[in-house]
Amino acid sequence: MSPAALHPDIPLPTGLAIRYPACRIPSGPSLATCSTPLTATPIPPVRTASPSARKSLLWPKTSSTMSRTPGRSPSTTAFPFDEGLIPYTKFSDYFRTYGRKEPLEPTHQPHGFGWGVPEKNFWDAVEGQRLLDFNVSMQTLDQMLPVIGIYPFEWIAQNADKVSSDAPLIVDVGGGKGQVLAQIRRSVPEIPAKRLVLQDREVTIEDAEASRPPELEGAKFIAHDFFKPQPVKGALVYFFRRIMHDWSDRYNAQILGHCRDVMTPHSRILIMDQVMANPPSTLSAQTDICMMNLGAKDRTAKDWHTLVGLAGLDLVKIWKAPSTEVSVIECKLRSSPSPVL
């Protein structure tokens, strides 16, 4: 039976033809399963999911965990296809061109190569509807990944007196619209909002100001490029969530180095990110390949030790939680004895 006969209410897509292969797959397939036949299916010249294809992405047979969440959007499913499938189909051409080696630069990586813009990094290449899909997908993923329960954030309130009374307690670097910072404050209301700082790109900070969570009333929102010197000095905690996996070690060392330069002996850098097992799980291997698309990677515990050392810091502890590879990597200034708290 044809897809049209099975689902007459959904028009045949004119972009990526996802619905047809999905009909051939048993119930409950993942996006990875659906993408397998797609890689062998001719892709039309229109190389993004068209409006009709975006509607078909919500059909339950093609639903991923993200698209089954409450308030799901076709963006959460269109994003992996647009930004993943197209580069994947060009892997053989990419590695034939650049050699069989790990992509380490934000440009001339598989994503840009696949889209025909090798000179652009991911952040410059994605715009319009694709950028909207990315933002919606990341917000959905933020809701799925744990924040509370891995690191004891009450430590921050308990040690507020270890830094100057006017110094921030948390600087959330690349913190988006502040949703994670708001979660931390809900969990530890003793942390005053006026001692919180949210940093991100100017356009993101403008959006954050327009939708400021009540928990962050009084917090400072600052537009900042984390490849430039850190303007907030002497904070107790510099916090990075899901930032490091977007960049190779060389670029992460620059990002962390700017915070290292303004830390006190009592300051900490907290990196909330994935710590892969070795050998990795199937999901970890999949996400690592996704990050390779951008010239970045996920990391094992050994990799994190290497990166932290490269940035001139000491790794204090990797905080882990059961049933997830999301961890918190705690760092301090190198060669400074850990303060007695």
Q: Which residues are catalytic?
A: 245
Q: Distance between CA atoms of 175 and 145, rounded to whole angstroms?
A: 15
Strand partners, 269: 238, 331
Report strand pairing: 170-173 vs 268-276. unpaired
269 close to 313: Cβ distance less than 8 angstroms = yes
Output 118-123 pairs: Cβ under 8 A, ≥24 positions apart: 121/294, 121/295, 122/83, 122/246, 122/293, 122/294
Please, what's the b/e burial string for 84-114 (b: 16 or more CB within 10 A of its CB; e: otherwise)? Answer: bbbbbbbbeebeeeeeeeebbbbbbbbbbbb
Report strand pairing: 313-319 vs 326-333. antiparallel
In angstroms and rounded to an integer, the radius of gyration of the C-alpha atoms of the chain is 21
Fill in the DSSP letter of residue 280.
Answer: P
Residue with tokens 């999911």: 49
As given in the structure block, the two tokens for residue 322 are 């059961």
- Count the residues in the chain: 341
Q: Which ranges in the chain belong to alpha helices (H)?
A: 3-6, 19-23, 31-39, 51-56, 75-80, 86-89, 91-98, 110-114, 122-125, 129-144, 154-158, 179-187, 202-210, 249-260, 282-292, 301-310
